[in-house]
Amino acid sequence: MCSILGVFDPRPHADLRPLRPLALSLSALQRHRGPDWSGVHASKHALLVHERLAIVDPAGGAQPIVSADGTLVLAVNGEIYNHRALQDALATPYAFTTGSDCEIVSALYREDGPAAFAKLNGIFAFALWDAQAQRVVIARDPLGVCPLYWGHDADGRLWVASEMKAIVRVCPDVALFPPGHWYDSATGALMRFHEREWRDYEATRGVSVTPAALRDALESAVHRQLMSDVPYGVLLSGGLDSSIVAACAALHARRRVEDDDRSEAWWPRLHSFAIGLPGSPDLAAAQIAADAIGTVQHGFTYTLEEGIDVLPDVIRHVETYDVTTIRASTPMFLLARRIKAMGVKMVLSGEGADEIFGGYLYFHKAPDSREFHAETVRKLDALHQFDCARANKAMMAWGVEARVPFLDLAFLDVAMAMDAEGKLVRERGGRRIEKAVLREAFEGALPDAILWRQKEQFSDGVGYAWIDGLKAHASRLVGDAEFATATERFAINTPETKEAFLYRRLFEECFPGDAAALTVPGGKSIACSSSAAIAWDASFASRADPSGRAMREVHAAAAPVEGTATAA
C-alpha cells in the first residue's frame, strides 16, 4: 500500500509542469505511507506523484505505471488480490511493463473502460490518466479500505490524494471520495460500480449459509490476502475476529501464495502482535490464542502517558476527531511503530466482522432480522469513516499495511447474502452472545475461552484505565469556560464532552476550515449515534460516551467465559 497525489487540468491552455515542486512537497506529507520509493509523472495536463510501500514485486513495480505505448499513466494505492485471474481472462493481450498486481487496472481500462473496475477484488484508490483521450478516471474500493480525498484549487484544477493533509491547504472544497465509485472527467459523472442484491433484505430472505461454507469462504479470503513478497504478520488482540483471522493465516503461512503454494514461504514463521496497558484483557487473551494457534506472539505494553503524548500525532495521521476512533487508533499507532521496528511491512487485521455479523453490543436490542440486516448494511456503508480509516491510517503512519480479510469482496458476498435470521443474537449456555454464527463456523479452531469471549471494543480491551485516563487528561486541558464556547466555536458537529472538545481542537490545528470538519461524521461513535440503535432502545440517545463498557446491561447479561481475562 502506498500514497498517491494527482493534479489534473485537461483545458487546452493548461500546463501543470510548473506545479511539480509544489506537488512533490505536498506528496511528501504522505511519505510515511510509502517510504520505499517516490515516482513522478509530469505532463501539461496531468501530474502524478506516488510514494511506494513495496509489498508485491519490491524489485520492480515502481509507480506511476506507464503503459508500453506511453498513453496510460496509473498511480495506485492498494492491492488487487485477483490480479492473476483477471490477467488470464483478458480477451486482448496487454503488454504489461511490471510485475505489480496493480497494473491490471490499466489493462481492464484498455479492454472495457471504467465499467470493468467492478471485476476488481482488492483494496484500492487510484488515478488513471489517459493521455490520448485527455481523460482522468479516479476510483476507490467498494468498502473504502483505502482512503482517498479530492478537491479543486482556486484555479479550478482537480486534485486527488490518499490523505487529506496533502491537499487541505490548496483545496477549499476538500472532501472524501466515495467508496465504490469511479469519476470520469470526460463526462464529469461520478458512478457507482459496486452494486449487490444483498443490500435489500428481501434478496436474502430464506438464504442459509452453512458454517462450513462460511468458514471455507473466510479461509479462502485470508489465503488470497497473504499475497506478499515481504515479511508479514497478524494483529492478534485475543478477540474473536483477530483470532479467527490469525487461525486462518496459520493454515497457509508456510507456503508462498504468489506461486500457488508450490514453494515454501520466504518467511514461514507467522508472527502475531498485540498491545495494551499492563494487565490489559487483550494481552492475556491474545497469549491464549497465540499458544493455541502456534504463532510467535509479541505482546507490547504502553503507558497512559505514552498514549497521551502521541494524541496530536494520531489525530494528524488518522484525520479525525471522532472519539471512539481516536481512543482505538492511539494504541494501534503505538503498536504499528513496534511492528515496523521488527521489519514487518504487512499485517492482517479483523476489521469488518462486527459490521457483517452484528457484533456491536447494541445489536442485542435488534427487534427482528429485517432491522438487523438493514443496520449491518448501514454500518458497512459508514465503515470507511471509522474502523477502515483507523486501521489503514494508524498502521500506515509507520509504513505498515493492514489488510482486512473480512472485507474481502468474495467473502462479503457469501456472508451478507445469508438471511440475518441466522445472525441474530442467540443464547448459549444460559447467556446471550453476539456473532454466534461466526463462532460456530470456527468450532475447534480456537479454544472456547477465545471463541466465546464477550465483545470488547478495542479501546476497552487494551485496558479500562485508558479511557478513564483520556477523560481525566481532557478535563485538565479544557476548562469549563472554554468548553462553554463549544457551540460558538464548533458549529459543525459540536463536541458534547471535554474529551471530544480536545480532539476537535487538535484536529482544527491540522485541518482548518469547514470542508475539513465535514469529512468527519458527527464526532462520536456511530454505534451510539445510530438512529437504529436509538429506535431499538431510547436510552442510547443520551449516551455521549461511546465506550463499549458503558453498555453495562449487555455485559451483565453475558458472563465472561472461563479462562479469559475479560472484565465486565
Q: How does DSSP assign 237-253, residue by residue?
A: -SSHHHHHHHHHHHHHT
* Tens digit of each residue's pLDDT (9 = 90 or more) over 49-80: 999 888 777 777 789 999 999 999 999 999 99
Q: Is the pLDDT of residue 486 over 80?
A: yes
* Tens digit of each residue's pLDDT (9 = 90 or more) over 142-162: 999 999 999 999 999 999 999
Which is more confidently placed, 427 or 136?
Answer: 136
Are the CB atoms for 550 and 497 separated by under 8 Å?
no
Hey, which residues does 275 pair with through a beta bridge? Answer: 300
Question: In angstroms, rounded to a whole number, what is the distance separating the alpha carbons of residues 57 and 77?
Answer: 14
State the architecture of 199-556 in CATH terms.
3-Layer(aba) Sandwich (3.40)
Give the pLDDT score at 257.
74
- From the list 2, 146, 248, 528, the catalytic residue is 2
Are the CB atoms for 533 and 408 separated by under 8 Å?
no
Q: Is the pLDDT of residue 47 over 50?
A: yes
* Tens digit of each residue's pLDDT (9 = 90 or more) over 491-527: 999 999 999 999 999 999 999 999 999 999 975 444 4
Q: Is the pLDDT of residue 266 over 80?
A: no
Are the CB atoms for 53 and 76 separated by under 8 Å?
no
Average pLDDT over residues 6-29: 97
Q: What is the largest CA-CA distance in the chain?
A: 73
Residues 38-52: b if buried by 16+ CB within 10 A, e if exposed: bbbbbebbbbbbbbb
Q: Is the pLDDT of residue 567 over 80?
A: no
Give the pLDDT score at 267.
73
The residue extents of the domains of the chain are 3-195, 199-556
Of 405, 418, 411, 353, nearest in space to 379 by CA: 353
Give the pLDDT score at 230.
85
2 is a catalytic site residue: yes
The rounded percent of the chain whose pLDDT value lies above 70 is 92
Name, in order, each residue with C-beta under 8 angstroms of 501's C-beta and a sequence gap of 6 or more: 474, 478, 482, 483, 486, 490, 495
What CATH number has the domain spanning 3-195?
3.60.20.10
**Per-position DSSP letters for 446-490, written without gaps between them:** B-HHHHTPPP--HHHHT-HHHHHHHHHHHHHHS-HHHHTTHHHH-
Three-state secondary-structure class, residue 161: strand
Main-chain phi, psi angles of 68, to 5 degrees:
-60, -30
Give the pLDDT score at 539.
74
Are the CB atoms for 438 and 357 separated by under 8 Å?
yes
Average pLDDT over residues 263-273: 83
The rounded percent of the chain whose pLDDT value lies above 90 is 80
Of 320, 14, 53, 23, nearest in space to 167 by CA: 23
Residue located via cell numbers 479544557: 478
Give the pLDDT score at 84.
94
Query: In whole numbers, what is the pLDDT of the chain averaged over residues?
Result: 91
Give the pLDDT score at 558.
45
Question: In angstroms, rounded to a whole number, what is the distance separating the alpha carbons of residues 246 and 108?
Answer: 33
